[in-house]
Amino acid sequence: MRGCTACPLYANRKQTVFGVGDERADWLFVGEGPGAEEDARGEPFVGQAGKLLDNMLAAIGIKRGNDVYIANVVKCRPPGNRVPEASEAARCEPFLTRQIALIQPKMIIALGKTAASNLLGTEASVGSLRGRLHDFHGTALLVTYHPAYLLRNLPDKAKAWEDLCLARDTMQRLKSAQAAPK
């Protein structure tokens, strides 16, 4: 993927940002695309939004690198941190699809509209998709707000907290069902 030139985003990147974390994780968090700091460091969700994501992970009892993998819809930084074009996301989709296939998470958390749109194939708003479980080819998927959005819209943090509680409870249920004698 490092040499990928499949979409125009390759032209402005310092490096591709593939993802980070436990490759056998039960949790997969998917964001939009790398920002300036991520582009420089080669890791998704660093900086203020990354700190908030780490706090969100802590709220459900997990931490970066341990049973969680973090990735983005596009692996190269969109100029000026704009939203990736649909054609760019479509070009990059095979990488995320492969990541999901290899990690085999029990649950995917789509952070923000770009992740939700691309994973669920809908243009519906985060507000209308959050708060309930979706299905991604047999894997539970939950939509919540992107940490960068939450930094600008503090009142919605309470809704994100509700989503994380639902995610945590669902994960417990999934693990119990797996552990139950057949």
Residues that bind ligand SF4 (CB under 6 A): 1, 4-7, 9-10, 16, 74-76, 88, 91-92
Q: State which residue, 38 or 88, has the beta carbon closest to ligand SF4.
A: 88
Beta partners for residue 69, in sequence order: 21, 28
Q: In whole angstroms, what is the distance from residue 160 CA to residue 180 CA?
A: 30
CB under 8 Å to 128, separation ≥6 — which residues?
Answer: none
Q: State which residue, 22 or 88, has the beta carbon closest to ligand SF4.
A: 88
CB contact at 8 A, 73 and 114: yes
To the nearest whole angstrom, how small is the minimum distance from the Cβ of residue 95 to ligand SF4?
6
To the nearest whole angstrom, how small is the minimum distance from the Cβ of residue 4 to ligand SF4?
3
CB contact at 8 A, 52 and 59: no
Q: State which residue, 10 or 161, has the beta carbon closest to ligand SF4.
A: 10
To the nearest whole angstrom, how small is the minimum distance from the Cβ of residue 35 to ligand SF4?
14
Q: State which residue, 26 or 78, has the beta carbon closest to ligand SF4.
A: 78
Q: State which residue, 2 or 152, has the beta carbon closest to ligand SF4.
A: 2
Cβ neighbours around 181 below 10 Å, total = 3
Full strand arrangement of the beta sheet holding 139-144: 20-21, 68-72, 27-31, 107-111, 139-144, 133-136
To the nearest whole angstrom, how small is the minimum distance from the Cβ of residue 42 to ligand SF4?
13
To the nearest whole angstrom, how small is the minimum distance from the Cβ of residue 71 to ligand SF4?
11
Sequence-ordered alpha helix ranges (H) in the chain: 36-41, 47-59, 86-103, 113-120, 126-129, 147-152, 157-179
